[in-house]
Amino acid sequence: MRRGRRSATAAEPHLMVRLRSMVWGPAEFVGLPPFRLTAKGVLAGCLAAVAIIGSTIAGAWYGIPGPGAGEGGLVCAALLVLYLCGVRAGRALIGITAVLAVCLALETPQAAAGFVLAERGRVESVVVTSVEGGRADVSGSGRYLCSVIDRDGVPVKVRIWRGCERTTRPGDAITVVYDAEGRVPPRGAEGGGSALDALSGLGGWVAGLVSACVVAVVRSYRLSAPDRGHRPSP
């Protein structure tokens, strides 16, 4: 009876080590992590970020609905998760990296539209026909939406919020920027900038994704091959 209790007690630390290895990765190294693993993590994170952002920009530029809406970015995020599973990274780190990759994919379509408008957008003055809104949005500030018509009297399909303010009234003129090829919806010209400015808001997501990917890959380091199962002792 005592022997059974001792063996159970001795197995508990081993079980905790295996559980921690499964959740956070084994990280079987002492001191600084191996440089090659750090480089692999940086490369994997950067390639994933470039693929997510690049596929969305390409979709917006050429008017392809799926990639332009971020679906291609979600596919790239899924491929990154498969790669981390292949190197047997910790489950928790895979989950964190997956969340960051998906968030980047969902944030990129708006930035990609701004990129396209900054590159080939044309500025035009439109006339306000109605103003709605004023209710608080996620940031806590009131946002107004203006329905507008172009200089030919044709209603613009989307409502404009940039440049649409509390003091804006029907009949007022506001400035919008529109895609010369009609592949990206127009938006208010207020606050417009360069193509890099349009993508600057993604910097935090990219940094977080690359950092999480580096940690996941580095902590996947094993000194020996993972156990394939327990063999009975002779």
pLDDT per position as a tens digit, 66-92: 999 999 999 999 999 999 999 999 999
Q: At residue 13, does pLDDT exceed 70?
A: no
pLDDT mean over 6-13: 49
Q: At residue 6, does pLDDT exceed 80?
A: no
The pLDDT value recorded for residue 52 is 98
pTM: 0.81
The pLDDT value recorded for residue 230 is 43
Sheet holding 142-149, edge to edge: 142-149, 121-136, 173-179, 187-188
pLDDT mean over 179-202: 86
Q: Count Cβ atoms below 10 Å from residue 3 Cβ, excluding itself.
A: 7
